[in-house]
Amino acid sequence: MDSLFDALEQRPHFFPCLFSALLLLVGLGSWSSTYYTLVYWVTMIIPSGVALLALFWRQFVWVPGLIFLALIFNPIEHFSLGVTLWKVMDVIGGGYMLTVAVAIKKPGAKRESSDSLIAPVTAFALSLVFLIYALWKL
């Protein structure tokens, strides 16, 4: 149990990123406009906050992608993309949020033996599987 709390202390953004990714990937289905409004708000707020964390922790490589997600899924000034492109953006955004959830880590945190490229590569591979599935279903 202590290792779980240690992991969450090193990655306090893990569950919000996971929630955002889940909403995006579930958004591949056919839902009401109310659901997509929730997805837009959540996917604007969470990447914005995680981008601030990444800036504070000097992990600048993740910031442009997080800002891009916050802008694309902005519910106030909404982009009008086709259904196919939105599904692709859902998969890309979900995969990126999964990758960010495991890749960004608080500086100064003790190094774990599991810290490697395995988790980000797995999250990216999973997002590619969802992308192929989404394109196949269209």
Q: What is the pLDDT of residue 112?
A: 55
Share of the chain above pLDDT 90, in %: 4
Total number of domains in the chain: 1
Calpha distance 42→107 (Å, rounded): 26
Residues 6+ apart with CB under 8 A from 137: 28
| Domain boundaries, position 9 | 2-137
- Which regions of the chain are under pLDDT 70? 1-8, 109-138
Contact 50, 66 (CB under 8 A): yes
Q: What is the pLDDT of residue 60?
A: 85
Q: What is the pLDDT of residue 75?
A: 84
